[in-house]
Amino acid sequence: MLKTGKIQRFDETRGYGFINPDEGGEDVFMHANDLLDEKYLYQAGRDVEFFVEMGEKGPKASEIRLIHQPSRRRPEQFGADSGAAEDEPGAAGFRSELTDVLLDADGTLTADQIKRIRTRIVELARARGWISD
C-alpha cells in the first residue's frame, strides 16, 4: 500500500535515512537504492510517497518518490537585477533552485530530463552573464 511521510533525515554519503510516516507509528528506514529521484534531492523535511516492506530490522521503504512542493522563491529572485557580481548566484545554487522550479512546473519530469534541461539553461545563463561559477 502506498504511504506518505516526511524525511526525518537522510545521509547522502552513507545512502540511508529515515521517514516519519504521516499516519504515525515507527520511523521507516530508507536506502538510496530505493530512491526514484536524484539522491541529492532527498533532504530532511521533504514529503515523500513510498511502499513499506518489513525488513529484518523493521519497516523499510521502497520505491521512494518525492512529492513535489511549490517553490518558495519567486522566479524574479533567480536573476541579478543590480548587475553587481556579489548579487549573481553561483552555478551550483542556480542549479539547485532551477531543479525546484522544474519539479514545481512538472512533477512528472524524470531525473534525466531535468539534468538535460538544467545543463542547457545553465549554459545559457553563463553565456549571458546571469550566473558566475
What architecture (CATH level 2) is domain 2-66?
Beta Barrel (2.40)
Locate the domains of the chain by residue range.
2-66, 75-128
CA–CA separation, 64 and 51 (whole Å): 7
**Residue 17 buriedness (CB in 10 A; 0-12 / 13-18 / 19+):** buried
Each residue of 103-126: pLDDT tens digit? 777 777 777 788 889 889 988 888
Each residue of 63-108: pLDDT tens digit? 999 987 554 444 444 444 444 334 445 777 787 788 878 877 777 7
